[in-house]
Amino acid sequence: MAKLEGVILLNSSTAALQIVNVTTGKRIENVTREFNESDINAPVFSNEIMHRALAQVQRFQQLLRDYDVTAVRLYGSEALSQMKNAVYFADQIQNITGLNLSWLNGNQESYYRQLAVRRAQLDGKTLLVDEDVFVLGMSSTRVDLGYFEHDYFKFSQHSSVGPIRLAQTIHDMAVEVTEETALASEFINSKLADFWHMLPPFNAIDRLILLGADTAQRIFLPENKHWVAVSKQDIQLVISDLGRLNDQAIIEKYAVDFNDVPFTLTEMLLLMNVMKATNVKTVQISDLTVLDGLIVQDVRDDNDIITAARGIADRYMVEENHREIVLTYANQLFDRLKRVHHLGKRDRLLLSIAALVHDVGSFINSQKHYQYSEEILSGIDFHGLSTIEQRMIATIARYHSAETPDSALQGTHEFLPQERLRIAKLAALLRLADALDDSRLQKIDKLSVSIGKEKITVTGQTVANLQLEIYVFRQKASFFETVFGLPIVLKKKGRRS
């Protein structure tokens, strides 16, 4: 019998379900239902809307039972999580359906959209293989721009200037002006100026893939089609229409919902701004969603997340040779101490990220740089990581150097006890990996680990003098012993230099 899994994604106005064959990856069902016909921009869910959403989840559960699906994952979008009464909604969902609602942040949504594009095919071809391409994700309150070179992820950057947030501000400013389109375009340019200034270098490209833009899909995407190519001239024609037509004419010509009319112009202007800045002539509009990426997350490529972390390290001028060797040592220690730390694959990823970015604080001041590292990383959005994982990275970086946390990380009140334990274990491993290159000379050629009953021995094979590394390793090993209950020592193997 085929092994099936169900994935449900709730947004502020819709519920979507996909049932997938885990073995083959084939979609068995794909259902989307609207449960909110009122103002989707209200700060809270009304009781009626909460009941509708709950009822829709229960209908999905019946469909899942019909397919005999027992493995179910339930997610809530960032927009939904920002509702003031979202916590009550999540509690009701769990109490009545038994499903735990996991919140996605905007960075995760961007990651899963891009993952969906990587797995998608058009005319039998994988979309990202043959050329360089930008992937633009657009939600109500932000835009995300990812860049790929021949299917290789290079960087992702976001700005909190989504069409709804922009439209609300522009509407307030436009009361006393007649040229709303010109005002809106100028305002968008001003808000995205720093976004383009900070964008890393990229090759000249011809194509942009647009995801998540509901209005653009309604206007351009033919019924029962998943992709459509639209020229810059076509976008400009729509913008001209939106600037001169009244609301009723826009609804009739473009089949836009009444509630979406105020955001249609800003969405088109945002898209035009991106096309001009990237010098793209064609945009490929797709109805691929976050949910399409979530259903393939078990085969996701974590290399994209690592690449994004390297981009952060580059931005803060972290010394490349040191960070890369610390990454190598950290992964080797993690892999060879599995029966000591009992951590999982996701923890290895977090350790890798922390190894790459742990020294970003030196960009401000090398003295107590670990404190500055925590401050910087606490304010950074990590591609593909949950909000709690981002905070964990910042805390691990804090304790990679001279400052040693207490035995239970009591100062980290925002974390649950199990999360504090994971942080302590990963910080202990990162401290040792960092100590192995304390001289910044990458002396050790090969690393081996021996786990004994009374102690752990790490042996570094090298012809160089390891006195500094052995001394610093000894200092940092005390926290490892506190966390894991075994002393750990560094020894040298090789002829004397």
Of 1-15, 108-122, 164-178, least confident by mean pLDDT is: 164-178
Give residue 176's pLDDT: 52
pLDDT tens sequence across 35-48: 875 555 567 778 88
Give residue 110's pLDDT: 93
Give residue 402's pLDDT: 64
- Other CB atoms within 10 A of residue 407 CB: 10
For residue 144, which phi and psi values (nearest 5 degrees)?
-125, 135
Asked if pLDDT for residue 410 goes beyond 80, the answer is: no
Question: Best-predicted range by mean pLDDT among 136-145, 309-318, 366-375?
Answer: 309-318
Round to whole Å and give the CA distance between 379 and 360.
Answer: 12
Give residue 126's pLDDT: 67
Round to whole Å and give the CA distance between 43 and 31.
Answer: 26
Asked if pLDDT for residue 212 goes beyond 70, the answer is: yes
Asked if pLDDT for residue 411 goes beyond 90, the answer is: no
pLDDT band at 494 (very low <50, low <70, confident <90, very high): confident
Report CA dihedral (459, 460, 463, 465) to the nearest 10 degrees: -100
Give residue 247's pLDDT: 85
Q: Please report how many Cα atoms fall inside a 13 Å half-sphere around the Cα of residue 141, on the Cβ side.
A: 13
**By CB neighbour count within 10 A (0-12 exposed, 13-18 middle, 19+ buried), where does 307 fall?**
middle
Query: Residue type at 311?
Result: G
Determine the Cα angle at 437 with ends 431 and 438, to 5°.
75
- pLDDT mean over 291-296: 89
Nearest to 260 by CA among 288, 218, 211, 209: 218
Round to whole Å and give the CA distance between 305 and 403.
Answer: 27
Q: Output the six-digit token pair for 334.
A: 């993690």
Asked if pLDDT for residue 260 goes beyond 70, the answer is: yes
DSSP state, residue 99: P
- Other CB atoms within 10 A of residue 293 CB: 25
Give residue 495's pLDDT: 58
C-alpha separations of 271 from 87, 300, 406 in Å: 33, 28, 50
pLDDT tens sequence across 354-365: 999 999 999 998
Contact 14, 35 (CB under 8 A): yes
Q: Which residue has the higher pLDDT, 496 or 141?
A: 141
Of 100-109, 118-127, 172-181, 325-334, least confident by mean pLDDT is: 172-181
Q: Please report how many Cα atoms fall inside a 13 Å half-sphere around the Cα of residue 117, on the Cβ side.
A: 30
Give residue 497's pLDDT: 42
Question: Best-predicted range by mean pLDDT among 74-83, 113-122, 210-219, 320-329?
Answer: 320-329
Sign of CA dihedral 33, 39, 43, 44: negative
To which H or E segment does residue 235 belong?
helix 232-244
Asked if pLDDT for residue 429 goes beyond 50, the answer is: yes
Contact 217, 287 (CB under 8 A): yes
Query: Percentage of residues in the chain with pLDDT exceeding 90?
Result: 62
How distant is the alpha carbon of residue 315 from its chain centre? 18
Contact 360, 376 (CB under 8 A): yes
Name residues whose C-beta falls within 8 Å of residue 244's C-beta, 6 or more positions apart in sequence. none
Query: Percentage of residues in the chain with pLDDT exceeding 70?
Result: 91
Report CA dihedral (357, 363, 369, 370) to the nearest 10 degrees: -20
- pLDDT mean over 89-99: 94
Nearest to 216 by CA among 287, 290, 145: 287
Query: Residue type at 370?
Result: Y
Q: Chain-wide mean pLDDT for the chain?
A: 88
Round to whole Å and give the CA distance between 144 and 161.
Answer: 10
For residue 458, which phi and psi values (nearest 5 degrees)?
-105, 125
Round to whole Å and give the CA distance between 188 and 263.
Answer: 13
Asked if pLDDT for residue 2 goes beyond 90, the answer is: no
> Helix or strand or coil: residue 386?
coil
pLDDT tens sequence across 471-492: 999 999 999 999 999 999 999 9
- pLDDT mean over 395-417: 73
Q: Output the six-digit token pair for 456.
A: 């752990």
Round to whole Å and give the CA distance between 434 and 50.
Answer: 50
**By CB neighbour count within 10 A (0-12 exposed, 13-18 middle, 19+ buried), where does 26 fall?**
exposed
To which H or E segment does residue 149 belong?
strand 143-149
Asked if pLDDT for residue 129 goes beyond 90, the answer is: no
To which H or E segment does residue 209 belong?
strand 207-211
- pLDDT mean over 236-241: 92
Question: Best-predicted range by mean pLDDT among 130-139, 366-375, 470-479?
Answer: 470-479
Q: Output the six-digit token pair for 235.
A: 């976008």
Give residue 230's pLDDT: 95
Contact 399, 370 (CB under 8 A): yes
Q: Output the six-digit token pair for 359.
A: 């020294």
- pLDDT mean over 47-67: 92
Question: Best-predicted range by mean pLDDT among 176-180, 226-230, 331-335, 360-364?
Answer: 331-335
Round to whole Å and give the CA distance between 489 and 245.
Answer: 75
- Other CB atoms within 10 A of residue 289 CB: 21
pLDDT band at 174 (very low <50, low <70, confident <90, very high): low
pLDDT band at 123 (very low <50, low <70, confident <90, very high): low
